[in-house]
Copies of this chain bind each other. A is one copy, B any other.
Amino acid sequence: MKNRGTAAVAALVLGVAAGGVLAQAKPEILVKQRQAAMTLQGKYFGPLAAMAQGKAPYNAEVVKRNAGFLDNLSRMPWDGFDPSTKDVKSRAKPELYSNMGEAKQLISRLENETHKLYEVSQSGDEAAVKAQIGAVGKACGACHDKFREKQ
């Protein structure tokens, strides 16, 4: 029971509801979580975009690390775009929720381009990496242009 006790403490510490994995999170929590994933994608993609644009010196180690993080982060936001969240204040346009088919295509594109970036980053070919950073940026933008309100 030691492990159960420990896990109970962890759940308490993290503010995890006792409902378990199948309980649907509240819409506000889903939005907070998806926005967190977007924030971190920005944190780790920003320096790569700067390198690809020549605004920062190329650093292969940073590229490898960030590309690995992004390969994970690019899979995290999407379950947060649940239909239950459509009335929660955010920059998601209403038409996102009625065009999930198109959204899913754009999501797959981002996931695929980001995974390619991770793979290319391992080779250390700077030109190929910079081209792929551009492809990831385009994939981000394609969905934002379509489904995110301008600020």
Contacts and interface: CB of A to CB of B under 8 A. Distances in A.
A25 to B, nearest CB: 8
A115 to B, nearest CB: 13
Copies in the assembly, this chain:
2
A57 B21 contact: yes
Given A10-B136, A10-B137, A21 B144 contact: no
Nearest to A143: B13
From A15, A36, A41, residue with most partner B Cβ within 10 Å: A36
Interface string A1-32: 01110111111011111111110000000001
Contact of A53 (B11, B42, B137, B141): B11
Binding site secondary structure of chain A: helix
A134 B47 contact: no
Interface string A109-140: 00000000000000000000011011111101
Interface of A: 2-4, 6-11, 13-22, 32-33, 35-37, 39-57, 59, 62, 66, 68-69, 72-73, 75-76, 130-131, 133-138, 140-141, 144-145, 151
